[in-house]
Amino acid sequence: MFAALPDTIGVSLGYENFPSTFVDKGHEEPATAEYARHAKAKGSIYLLEGKGRQDMHRIVQLEYEKRQERAHYEKDLQEAAEAILDACVQLNWNEEWQAYTDMSCQPPERTQLKAWRPVYEIGWTGIAELACPFVMAEQLLGIKKERFQKAKDGRALLDQIAGAYNPASGLFHDLVAPVDESGSLENGWWIWYYIKEECHCAYTNGKGAYGLLKTMSFLSDRGQEYPKEWLETVRKVLDTVILLQREDGNYGYTYSNQEKKVLDWDGFAGCWFLPCMVYAWKLTGEERYLESAERAERFYSGYVHDLNCYSTPMDTWKAVDEEGNLAFVREFLRRLCYQHFQSAYSSHGRDHRH
């Protein structure tokens, strides 16, 4: 590990959880620690002339090339995709909740899979993650609607997201149905962490919009139609996001559900609106979406360049995580595919894609 002190390299031995030890959401225990008196270690020392900690990208790439293991396929890709779809329909669909669900078991004592949480959130761990692949499966694999039996197919799920529009805030409700007796359409399972007030979150809204736009782009590329309500609704959301976007490109982290207002600006989660803007530009041809994306790219590239993409999933609060940078990667790929990079943005992409 590279220490933060100048001209210093350190190695961590042991650990300390301070000021408390995380158990699960809402539960903490006193601080714990384990220390080492003697240890052996082996590894590689890289002596590279660099320009700061960002040049660690080069070391990560070299290590990856040494350690990469290729996957060994037991089935072909179509068999695997169909098996995933069938598992979702046959195992995860819950007729009582009219929703796909998270399943749980605790072997070896409890081996039966049981539904424990309905997937009502529009994005992140929710509906958009299922809807777009379902539509793609129908188109690419020739899956018929009957294969979904009583479960919702991809288009029905996307109808739910579009139907979650909140006129007061100009954004999507984060849930399509309440998860508890509060009746809230914003307070998902993540509310037990540090987001205490009822509000819209950039991660759920951004991923919900992304799922709609990606599906529309996919269908459009194949000459297939999609409901005009999908595009009309998602454009309302993106127009709100552009209205709220700061001059420096920041889209915000959480938003009021009562008015068009950013509550918290600090975090990387808003970057999910960046690829949304590029998709909207592709589908409508309106330059304002691309102009918004370019301002956002300049802002969010700073997080990526500093290896500090913090505050995307709400359950990690303001911590750095491995999910957030996917928004930037997908934005890069979208614009690369559309050959709309200027040299400055192309340089950013090369610097960050590792």
User: Is the domain of 49 the same as that of 92?
Assistant: no
CB 276 within 8 A of CB 300: no
One-letter amino acid of 243: L
Does residue 342 carry a pLDDT above 70? no
Q: Let me know if residue 255 belongs to a domain.
A: yes
Number of domains in the chain: 2
pLDDT of residue 331: 57
Q: Let me know if residue 1 belongs to a domain.
A: no
| Distance (Å, whole) CA 253 – CA 203 | 8
User: Is the domain of 54 the same as that of 202?
Assistant: no
Angle of helix 228-244 versus helix 287-305 axis, rounded to 10: 60
CB 202 within 8 A of CB 269: yes
Taking only the tens place, the pLDDT of each residue in 45-83 is 888 877 777 777 888 889 999 999 988 888 899 999 999
Q: Let me know if residue 302 belongs to a domain.
A: yes
Taking only the tens place, the pLDDT of each residue in 104-125 is 998 899 899 999 899 999 999 9
- Tally of CB atoms within 10 A around 297: 24
User: Is the domain of 47 the same as that of 83?
Assistant: no
- Spacing of C-alpha 189 from chain mean position: 16
Q: Let me know if residue 328 belongs to a domain.
A: yes
Going through the chain in order, the beta strands assigned E by DSSP cover 15-24, 27-34, 93-94, 99-106, 110-118, 165-166, 171-172, 200-201, 254-255, 262-264
With a CB cutoff of 8 Å and minimum separation 6, the contacts of 289 are 238, 242, 277, 278, 280, 281
How long, in residues, is the chain?
354
End of a domain among 67, 86, 101? 67
User: Is the domain of 297 the same as that of 337?
Assistant: yes
CATH of the domain at 262: 1.50.10.10
- Residue 159's domain spans which residues? 78-352
**Residues pairing with 118 in the sheet:** 101
Q: Let me know if residue 178 belongs to a domain.
A: yes
In this predicted model, which residue has the larger pLDDT, 236 or 334?
236
User: Is the domain of 216 the same as that of 318?
Assistant: yes
User: Is the domain of 49 the same as that of 114?
Assistant: no
| Mean pLDDT calculated for residue range 312-334 | 79
The pLDDT confidence band at residue 343, using thresholds 50, 70 and 90, is: very low
Does residue 345 carry a pLDDT above 50? no
Q: Let me know if residue 214 belongs to a domain.
A: yes
Three-state DSSP class for residue 91: helix
With a CB cutoff of 8 Å and minimum separation 6, the contacts of 116 are 101, 102, 103, 104
CB 331 within 8 A of CB 276: no
- The tokens 């100009």 sit on which residue? 170
Taking only the tens place, the pLDDT of each residue in 265-276 is 999 999 999 999
- The tokens 């692949």 sit on which residue? 133
CB 148 within 8 A of CB 231: no
User: Is the domain of 240 the same as that of 335?
Assistant: yes
Does residue 340 carry a pLDDT above 70? no
Output the DSSP codes for 267-332: SSGGGGHHHHHHHHHHHH--HHHHHHHHHHHHHHHHHHHTT--B--SGGGTTSB-SSTHHHHHHHH
Of residues 284, 302, 311, 281, the one with CA closest to residue 293:
281
Max distance between CA atoms of the chain, in angstroms, equals: 66
CB 266 within 8 A of CB 253: yes
| Distance (Å, whole) CA 282 – CA 298 | 20
Does residue 102 carry a pLDDT above 50? yes
- The tokens 């920041």 sit on which residue? 250
- Tally of CB atoms within 10 A around 266: 13
Q: Let me know if residue 5 belongs to a domain.
A: no
pLDDT of residue 36: 81
